[in-house]
Structure 1
Amino acid sequence: MFYSRRSFLIIIGSIFGSKAFSLIRSSLNFSKNVGVPKQNLNFLNKVLAIPSSTTSSINLSNSIKKKVRVIVISDLNDNYGATTYSPEVIKSISLIKQSKPDLVLCAGDMIAGQKYSLTKKQIQAMWIAFDIHITSHLKQLKIPFGFSLGNHDASGAIYKNQLTFYKERILASQFWNNYQHIPELDFIDKGKFPFYYTFKQNSIFYLVLDASTHIISKEQLIWITNSLESLDSKQASLRFVIGHLPLYPIAVGRNNNGNFIKNGEKLQILLEKHDVHTYISGHQHSYYPGKKGNLELLYSGALGGGPRRLLNSKSPPVKTLTIIDISLPLKQTKYTTYSMSNLQILDIKTLPKSIGNIHRKDISSLKNI
């Protein structure tokens, strides 16, 4: 009890200064005259014995986390129907454990679906395998896990007004809404979870898109606007958006229509209007730390099968994992990206200075290239 009272009075002193201690002294003198129990007088005497320099050095904001670490992975899947994962995916768990992040994000393609011939049992087996290899370990480490669904998880492709992979979307929803698998996140809006939803963590507002196809529906665009205009979004220190498909292409073989969001420019304008800091995507299977306008674009690369070469680059493709260290006061991000085949850190200077209208995030603008 002594320490809780002591801490309380230290805080009072740090806020109100010497006046608070003068009041305590006056109360102490009065208490002696009216017969306050001796143990309470001893407590007050100990408080008054604390040097003033101690009270003035108390910083009430110390309890607020100013630096946040997020690990980003993406495109973990292997061949269609596979219930096994490549060595780089398995190796990532050790790196995650060592790095002690506040959150792990996956930009989609956790399993290897999007094939008509896959049965219900095969799809369910893939989700169980993902839990065994990935999410069960994160739960043991008590690391929150957020994700967007990719085209191989639960494609939202529509043909003749019908969902092409309706079965896969139903099974994905059943898996993630099972009480054993639902992530331990501070959800804000989970009405459409796991397809699109919002949550808040360490004063950062996260909006997850259903970008499992290149078309973002009008319904979802309205939801995006309303979510970013919400009080939770406005009060957050930063806003991040996560979706599987990127706004713009950056990889060989993924620069044709359907492999990036249609009208990505309009979506970027919407995100910038609401001061979104970063859009995190997958699908391109190439890592690139980009920026366009005021929006940072993290292309998270592939951790599983089929990494691809960047446009404007002759460097061989690599499987990657990215650590984002975020300074909330400065509103800045620092990436540390590993080549998971040899655990070497990638040098950002070896990447193209620009790809199309996107420039590398360490370069202030395209004009400086």
Structure 2
Amino acid sequence: MKKLRMGMVGGGQGAFIGAVHRMAAFLDGNIELVCGAFSSDAERSRQSGAALNVDEHRCYASYEDMFKKEASLPADQRMEFVAIVTPNYLHFPVAKMAIEQGFHVLSDKPATFDLNEALALQALIEQHNTLYGLTHTYNGYPMIKQAKHLVAEGELGNIVKVVVEYSQGWLASKDDEESKQASWRLDPKKSGISCCMGDIGVHAANLAEYVSALTIDELCADLTSTVSDRLLDDDGTVLLRFSNGAKGVLLSSQIAVGEENNLRLRIYGDKKSLEWWQMEPNTLWLKSANKPTQMLRAGIGDMCEQAQNALRVPAGHPEGYLEAFANVYQNFARQIHAFQLGEDATNETHDVPGIKEAVRGMAFIENTVRASQSETKWHKLSLTSAE
């Protein structure tokens, strides 16, 4: 594939996730960074771009300026897609203008500030001839793709229970709020109505739906602000009912002392069950009632096409978070190339989380918060805003 030209909004000096996005984008050598509005501070944006060897004339003071000037460049020079790596409240306005100017969008999650914006974004995408992807990174792991394949092939039988957990401990104390990453996530004006569920709970929900191929239809939630004076949740437990009648549990916490990024998925069928743990991402456990437990390892034996395509190194060499993240970028790049060639460029064909997942993610966040505030036990997961 020819190299695709990428722009970036956010991700300047001092930002965490912007550097991760760039490493993921560059890993396969088919994407180059040509421009950016790396900060709302013009000088910081310029300095950030200079440190990344971006042409000084294409280090912009604002995303509005970037989109207008990039759109005026010749087609073989302008950026082809933009990566959005800002706090949540900027996701929608940046994506909206990019799409209106004809640029493809790959956005950090959650897609927008609230569900209304996600629905507006969905309508906008339907009106314009552009692509939209969402970085649900954990879908990119090879053994997650293998797990999805096993479920689809009926290896587990009928799915009866799903348990997914995402626990961290980085916000366990009041002192942890001092960092830049914590401050905006705990600010309702920048993060939205949820911290924990909006930041990592939505990843867990997406992973459960992605692998099981089921949708969460109903939920019962208990969210907590554990640390005093916090305005948003930092811990939560959600009971789930899936589209086929299966039951589930989703645990999400940012105050679990000692936990790093403990993302774990267990899916139980009436024939077999599987378990995957991000701390050992190259291993997938397949369990039976009356046969020895199988340990499936990345790159060894027969693996499905999507899992095989997600591998980069020989078996026995660890692949982790950056490679999984890079798989999202790699698949989105392939999707853009297919689009440019007039071929099938749907998100489903290229295994890229898109606007459907964006809307479902925002619906999960808002429905979970509302359910936690209600005395009613079970709530239908509504894809329309309560406002």
Q: Do they fold alike, i.e. is TM over 0.5? A: no
TM-score, with normalisation over the residues of structure 1? 0.27
Larger radius of gyration: 1
